[in-house]
């Protein structure tokens, strides 16, 4: 395909869409599918066909709209009119939608999700810009929204060095958790010596409550593939691997279809856009090990070995897949590349904070009114996310903490609700950005139990290769279980803290040295809850069930209680 053929394809698709009197866009991502979107889609097709409206009404499956708890979602789009989004749509309700908009020429009042509510108004969509508008399985649909113009631009107008400099100028940092400068990583791989170089997209998203990458892969797979191809051109690679969790079957299926269609159109494969640039992408399915989200563990898995991290250096930029220079970026990171090339690094750098540029996708989960997927500018405050976009805490409960960064992140208390969200601020609070999981907890949550939950997860997901992680996470979990069941003594808190810091400093990989974050952050901000479990043998919010306290521990506590009694 040539650049001119790309433009022709885009214009043809745009003309076809403009010819319809009405377009009905059905959210077809996993959250909506789980609530019945497939039945709604089929009911819409049948209703349109029965009324002989096929040439007037277009029914399209799209990616994620955002408010996942309100699905199935159907958007009505008509020329000259504002979009109307219907929530909790049933197959029976679609007939009323058709009659209202095509016969009565007015929207319904029931089940309408207002488009000007803070959930939408506060967002800024870059990676998710197309997800609610295009058919994720249609190459033509993606191209009609400007798809692959960035790739054709770099191949015809830019040198690899210029591409890298544009990414550097943007200030984009890796969205997989570490926040390493993307342009710098690309430059290291570009300058690395090697006959063969590889590109890897990390789609191994395993954080509890997180589904940002899954949704991006399901909603706009061509966008991520375009970002990979641009990266390959910039660093001199000709082979890419897309590593996807096997638990994401829809994402893997749509990626496979996207790769096949792009290859057929000669947008991937050999002599892309008539140039000398070749790039092929293959999919590798992960077996669900959380440790394979760590880049070296992921690489060993791609090579067919057990997914275990290995010491660095050498870093993957110099010696990755089969000893060759390898560029690894997260799915969301690759999703930012085409917009940056199309609109410029300076545009992207104008969004966000001084050291954290652009936008970030978060999966809002937990005790919050509006759960779902959001994309917001870096620097937005936690208060805005929780009380405006998220709609606050349901059931009259109060906000207690937000857990960012998944099991590797920390718990941020209400005192820091007005802190701007960026890499440095979260790190200073004892948490991390992570891949974008954001779990909200209300005042009925026990923070000791929260720490225990995440430590249990990390203990189970440890690959067992290094002793600090393999033994340390198990020992930390043991202390947390003692505290929760009422059999701990005060000395255990200091032992827990020392053990957590040792694991943090000596583990082999990111899973190990970030696994103590939930424990350390809850000890830092919610120490009174820990002490209530130990001193008073009670859970302040009634979550933990206290066991019978062994006599030997009561005896051990007796001197302290006598001392405290005499002081009183």
String of DSSP letters for 383-415: HIIIIIIS---GGGPPEEEEEESGGGS-EEEGG
Contact 143, 4 (CB under 8 A): no
The pLDDT of residue 557 is above 70:
no
The pLDDT of residue 555 is above 70:
no
For 94, counting Cβ atoms within 10 Å of its Cβ (0-12 exposed, 13-18 middle, 19+ buried), the class is buried
Task: Give 10-29 pLDDT, tens digit per residue.
Answer: 999 999 999 999 999 999 99
Contact 22, 76 (CB under 8 A): yes
> Cα–Cα distance between 395 and 9 in angstroms, integer?
51
> Cα–Cα distance between 230 and 233 in angstroms, integer?
5
In terms of residues, how long is the chain?
568
The pLDDT of residue 538 is above 60:
yes
Contact 397, 367 (CB under 8 A): yes
Q: Which pLDDT belongs to residue 436?
A: 85
Task: Give 83-111 pLDDT, tens digit per residue.
Answer: 999 999 999 999 999 999 988 889 999 99
Task: Give 276-292 pLDDT, tens digit per residue.
Answer: 999 999 999 998 788 88
Contact 361, 128 (CB under 8 A): yes
**pLDDT tier for residue 62 given thresholds of 50, 70 and 90:** very high
Contact 261, 275 (CB under 8 A): no
- Tally of CB atoms within 10 A around 117: 14
Rounded to 10 degrees, what is the CA torsion of 479, 485, 490, 491?
-30
Domains located in the chain, CATH noted: 3-115 (3.40.30.10), 146-349 (3.40.50.11540), 359-445 (3.10.20.600), 448-567 (1.20.1440.230)
- Tally of CB atoms within 10 A around 271: 10
Q: Which pLDDT belongs to residue 560?
A: 67
DSSP 8-state symbol, 84: E
Question: Percentage of the chain with pLDDT > 70?
Answer: 96
Q: Which pLDDT belongs to residue 551?
A: 47
String of DSSP letters for 503-564: HHHH-SSHHHHHTTHHHHHHHHH-HHHHHHHHHS---TTS-S-PPPPPHHHHHHHHHHHHHH
Q: What average pLDDT does the structure give for the chain?
A: 92
- Strand runs labelled E in 252-339: 280-286, 326-330
- Residue 90, sorted as left (phi over 0), alpha (psi -120 to 50) or beta, turns out to be beta
Task: Give 123-144 pLDDT, tens digit per residue.
Answer: 999 999 999 999 999 999 999 9
Structure-model confidence comparison of residues 539 and 293, the more confident one: 539
The pLDDT of residue 547 is above 90:
no
- Tally of CB atoms within 10 A around 332: 27
Task: Give 167-211 pLDDT, tens digit per residue.
Answer: 999 999 999 877 899 999 999 999 999 999 999 999 998 888 789
- Phi first, then psi, for residue 411 (nearest 5°) are -105, 120
> Cα–Cα distance between 97 and 413 in angstroms, integer?
44
Show the CA angle centred on residue 469, arms to residues 467 and 472, nearest 5°: 85
Least confident span in 175-184, 295-304, 351-360, 548-557: 548-557
Q: Which pLDDT belongs to residue 506?
A: 93
Q: Which pLDDT belongs to residue 116?
A: 74
- Containing 437, the helix (H) or strand (E) segment is strand 437-442
Task: Give 338-359 pLDDT, tens digit per residue.
Answer: 999 999 999 999 999 999 999 9
- Tally of CB atoms within 10 A around 121: 11
In 3D space, the residue among 100, 122, 119 whose CA is nearest the CA of residue 110 turns out to be 100
What lies within 8 Å, CB to CB, of 469 at 6+ separation is 462, 463, 503, 507, 508, 509, 511, 512, 515
Mean pLDDT of 386-394: 94
String of DSSP letters for 194-230: -S--EEEEEE----TT--HHHHHHHH-HHHHHHHHHH
The pLDDT of residue 552 is above 80:
no
Task: Give 440-479 pLDDT, tens digit per residue.
Answer: 999 999 999 999 999 999 999 888 889 999 999 999 999 9
Task: Give 356-380 pLDDT, tens digit per residue.
Answer: 999 999 999 999 999 999 999 999 9
> Cα–Cα distance between 534 and 118 in angstroms, integer?
42
Q: Which pLDDT belongs to residue 227?
A: 98
Show the CA angle centred on residue 313, arms to residues 462 and 515, nearest 5°: 25
DSSP 8-state symbol, 414: G
Q: pTM of the entire structure?
A: 0.92
CA atoms within 13 A on the CB side of 381: 10
> Cα–Cα distance between 218 and 213 in angstroms, integer?
8
The pLDDT of residue 553 is above 60:
no
In 3D space, the residue among 392, 395, 401, 397 whose CA is nearest the CA of residue 419 turns out to be 401
Contact 231, 187 (CB under 8 A): no
**What is the end-to-end Cα distance of the chain in Å, rounded?**
84
Least confident span in 114-128, 482-496, 521-535: 114-128
Q: Which pLDDT belongs to residue 564?
A: 65
> Cα–Cα distance between 450 and 407 in angstroms, integer?
10
**pLDDT tier for residue 434 given thresholds of 50, 70 and 90:** confident
- Strand runs labelled E in 13-101: 22-27, 57-62, 74-77, 84-86
Question: Percentage of the chain with pLDDT > 90?
Answer: 80
> Cα–Cα distance between 277 and 480 in angstroms, integer?
55
> Cα–Cα distance between 418 and 192 in angstroms, integer?
43
DSSP 8-state symbol, 443: T
Report how far Cα 57 is from the mean position of its chain's Cα atoms. 34
């Amino acid at each position: 395909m040539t650049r001119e053929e790309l433009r022709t394809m885009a214009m043809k698709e745009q003309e076809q869409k403009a010819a319809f009197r009405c377009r009905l866009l059905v959210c077809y991502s996993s959250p909506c599918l789980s609530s019945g979107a497939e039945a709604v889609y089929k009911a819409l097709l049948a209703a349109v066909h029965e009324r002989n409206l096929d040439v007037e009404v277009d029914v399209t499956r799209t990616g994620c709209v955002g408010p996942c708890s309100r699905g199935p979602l159907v958007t009505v789009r008509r020329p000259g009119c504002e979009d109307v989004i219907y929530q909790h749509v049933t197959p029976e309700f679609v007939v009323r939608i058709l009659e209202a908009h095509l016969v009565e020429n007015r929207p319904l009042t029931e089940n309408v999700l207002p488009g000007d509510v803070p959930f939408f108004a506060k967002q800024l969509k870059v990676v998710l810009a197309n997800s609610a508008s295009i058919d994720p399985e249609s190459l033509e649909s993606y191209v009609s929204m400007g798809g692959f113009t960035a790739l054709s631009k770099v191949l015809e107008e830019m040198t690899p060095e210029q591409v890298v400099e544009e990414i550097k100028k943007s200030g984009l940092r890796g969205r997989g958790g570490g926040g390493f400068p993307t342009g710098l990583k690309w430059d290291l791989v570009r300058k690395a010596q090697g006959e063969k170089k590889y590109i890897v997209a990390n789609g191994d998203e395993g954080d509890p409550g997180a589904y940002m990458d899954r949704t991006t892969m399901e909603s706009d797979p061509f966008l991520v593939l375009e970002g990979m191809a641009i990266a390959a051109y910039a660093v001199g690679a000709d082979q890419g691997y897309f590593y996807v969790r096997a638990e994401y079957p829809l994402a893997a299926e749509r990626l496979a279809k996207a790769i096949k269609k792009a290859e057929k159109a000669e947008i991937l494969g050999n002599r892309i856009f008539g140039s000398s640039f070749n790039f092929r992408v293959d999919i590798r399915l992960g077996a669900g090990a959380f440790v394979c989200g760590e880049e070296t563990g992921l690489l060993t898995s791609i090579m067919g070995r057990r997914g275990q991290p290995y010491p660095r250096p050498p870093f993957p930029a110099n010696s990755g897949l089969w000893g060759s220079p390898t560029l690894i970026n997260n799915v969301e990171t690759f999703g930012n590349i085409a917009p940056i090339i199309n609109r410029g690094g300076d545009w992207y750098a104008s969004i966000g904070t001084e050291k954290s540029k652009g936008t970030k996708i978060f999966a809002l989960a937990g005790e919050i009114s509006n759960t779902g997927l959001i994309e917001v500018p870096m620097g937005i405050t936690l208060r805005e996310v929780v009380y405006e976009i998220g709609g606050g805490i349901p059931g009259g409960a109060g906000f207690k903490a937000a857990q960012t960064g998944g099991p590797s992140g920390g718990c941020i208390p209400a005192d820091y609700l007005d802190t701007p969200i960026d890499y440095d601020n979260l790190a200073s609070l004892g948490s991390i950005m992570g891949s974008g999981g954001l779990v909200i907890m209300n005042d009925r949550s026990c923070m000791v139990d929260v720490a225990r939950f995440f430590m249990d997860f990390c203990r189970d997901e440890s690959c067992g290769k290094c002793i600090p992680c393999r033994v340390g996470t198990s020992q930390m979990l043991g202390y947390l279980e003692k505290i929760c069941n009422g059999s701990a003594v005060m000395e255990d808190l200091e032992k827990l803290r020392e053990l957590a810091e040792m694991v943090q400093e000596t583990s082999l990989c990111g899973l190990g040295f970030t696994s103590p974050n939930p424990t350390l952050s809850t000890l830092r901000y919610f120490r009174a809850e820990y002490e209530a479990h130990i001193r008073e043998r009670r859970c302040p919010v009634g979550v933990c069930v206290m066991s019978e306290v062994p006599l030997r521990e009561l005896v051990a506590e007796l001197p302290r209680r006598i001392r405290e009694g005499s002081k009183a």
